[in-house]
Amino acid sequence: MKRRETVKPGNPEHAPLLSMSRLIYFAGSIRGGRDDVHLYQSLVQELRTYGTVLTEHVGDQGLSVQGEVSETGDKEIHDRDLDWLQQSHVVVAEVTVPSMGVGYELGRAVVMDKPVLCLFRPDCGRRLSAMIRGAKGPRFTVMDYRPDQIKTILDQFFSQTQIQT
Ligand SMILES: O=c1[nH]c(=O)n([C@H]2C[C@H](O)[C@@H](COP(=O)(O)O)O2)cc1CO
């Protein structure tokens, strides 16, 4: 019988196993505006190569600015998302379109001590909130980016950040 090996983060052969068990919380604007939904979709698609994305619906082009339809209302959405946030090993947020929900999720993620990557597109013509840019620290990364840099930035982030699974 083949002996069971311990999965080690430094071993490149173990990378696919590690990424399967890595849970990613992706945050992006919904009721704040869906202008960048195509970018959220690309990010979700790319993030799937690094783990399981718990919040794939954020990148769904069919989801409108009204948000999800829930029988028990917004409390169900809020409680489910906080559960996912708690379960997640890492948080990635696209923060270009200002969103109360994304800001709230990021604040909660900081309190939960999750590693966070925020992505901001400066060509939108707005300045990112100081409460996001100013939160920069060892566990909170803020990157200005262009859509064609997504792959490189995610690669860098996932290879350089300590993510506990
Ligand atoms: O229907 C929803 N489903 C949902 O998962 N969210 C969560 C995930 C998003 O990262 C974030 C978006 O917040 P907002 O809707 O305030 O832009 O909140 C938010 C809504 C609507 O507010």
Rounded to 10 degrees, the C-alpha dihedral 61/67/69/73 comes to 160
Mean pLDDT value across the chain: 92
Q: Is the CB of 88 under 6 A from ligand 1?
A: no
Predicted local distance difference test score (pLDDT) of residue 1: 39
Any ligand 1 atom below 6 A from CB of 101: yes
Separation CA 55–CA 60 (nearest Å): 10
Q: Average pLDDT for residues 43-63, to the nearest whole number?
A: 98
Could you tell me the pLDDT band of residue 106, with boundaries at 50, 70 and 90? Answer: very high
pTM: 0.91
Average pLDDT over every residue of 42-66: 97
Query: Residue 66: beta bridge partners?
Result: none
The mean pLDDT value for 52-69 works out to 97
pLDDT higher than threshold 90 for residue 72: no
> What is the interface pTM, i.e. ipTM, of the complex?
0.99
CA of 47 to the centre of ligand 1 (A): 18
Answer whether residue 95 shows pLDDT above 80. Answer: yes
The total of other beta-carbon atoms located within 10 Å of residue 74's CB is 11
30 lines ligand 1 (CB under 6 A): yes
Summarize pLDDT for 4-49 with one digit per residue, the tens: 555 555 556 666 656 669 999 999 999 999 999 999 999 999 999 9
CA dihedral 56, 58, 64, 69 (to 10 degrees): 70
Cα 54 to ligand 1 centroid, rounded to whole Å = 13
Edge-to-edge strand list for the sheet holding 90-94: 52-53, 23-27, 90-94, 116-120, 140-144
Q: What pLDDT was estimated at residue 12?
A: 62
Is 130 annotated to bind a ligand? Reply is yes
Mean pLDDT of 63-89: 94
**Residue 29 in contact with ligand 1 by CB distance below 6 A:** yes
Q: For the segment 108-134, what is each residue's pLDDT rounded down to a tens digit?
A: 999 999 999 999 999 999 999 999 999
105 annotated binding-site participant: yes
> What span, in angstroms and rounded, lies between the C-alpha atoms of 52 and 22?
6
Q: Could you tell me if 146 and 121 are in contact, meaning their C-beta atoms sit under 8 angstroms apart?
A: yes
Q: Are 24 and 88 in contact (CB under 8 A)?
A: yes
Token output for 81: 């998302």
Q: In angstroms, what is the span from residue 146 Cα to ligand 1's centroid?
A: 23
Q: How far apart are CA 60 and CA 10, in angstroms?
A: 34
pLDDT of residue 14: 63
